[in-house]
Amino acid sequence: RWLFTQAVCTLYAFCGVLFGLCSLTSLTVLSTVCCLKICYPAYGRCWDVLSDLCLRPSLYGPEPYGTACCISWKTSSREATLYILALFIFCYLLPCLLILVSYSLILWTVRVSRRAVRQH
């Protein structure tokens, strides 16, 4: 069972989500910058990524086994559902799609430049 208070549970879960999002955001920014530098060298300068997370106790709670805390998946309130949906779309799905598109563009640019070098 969770040995600490609800406040510690909320902080623990929030930090887990935050650090996971930071990791995915770092990978997304890295792939985007690499894509810009390789595919569009004149425009690959600087990107500013901002994220806004809510720290609300009702959105976090113990995991099913009760040994750690994370997002409260079983909460059925509209606010919690929208929060989880927003996290999925904006913090997982869009970054993954951006990473996929970025590396696809990089591979396509390398393939095109390789063909151009062979022709010369």
**Which contacts qualify for 78-85: CB closer than 8 Å, 24 or more apart?**
83/54, 83/56, 83/59
- Asked if residue 42 has pLDDT above 80, the reply is no
Q: Cα separation of 6 and 49, whole Å?
A: 31
Tokens of 102: 């970025």
Instruction: Report if residue 4 sits inside a domain.
Output: yes
Higher per-residue pLDDT: 36 or 106: 106
Range of lowest pLDDT (23-37, 49-63, 69-83, 99-113): 49-63
For residue 70, being part of any structural domain is answered with: no
Residue 45 has pLDDT above 60, yes or no: no
- Cα torsion angle, 7, 12, 13, 14, sign: positive
Number of domains in the chain: 1
In a domain, 46, yes or no: no
Confidence of residue 112 (pLDDT cuts 50, 70, 90): very high
Does 59 map to a domain?
Answer: no
Q: Does some domain include residue 63? A: no
Q: What does the pLDDT look like over 13-23, one tens digit per residue?
A: 889 888 988 88
Residue scoring higher pLDDT (64 or 87): 87
109 within some domain: yes
In which domain, by residue range, is 3 found?
1-39+78-119
Residue 89 is assigned to a structural domain of this protein = yes
Within 8 A by CB and 6+ apart from 35, the residues are: 44, 101, 102, 103, 105, 106
Categorize the per-residue pLDDT at 104 as very low, low, confident or very high, splitting at 50, 70 and 90. Answer: very high
Residue 113, in any domain of the structure: yes
pTM beyond 0.85: no
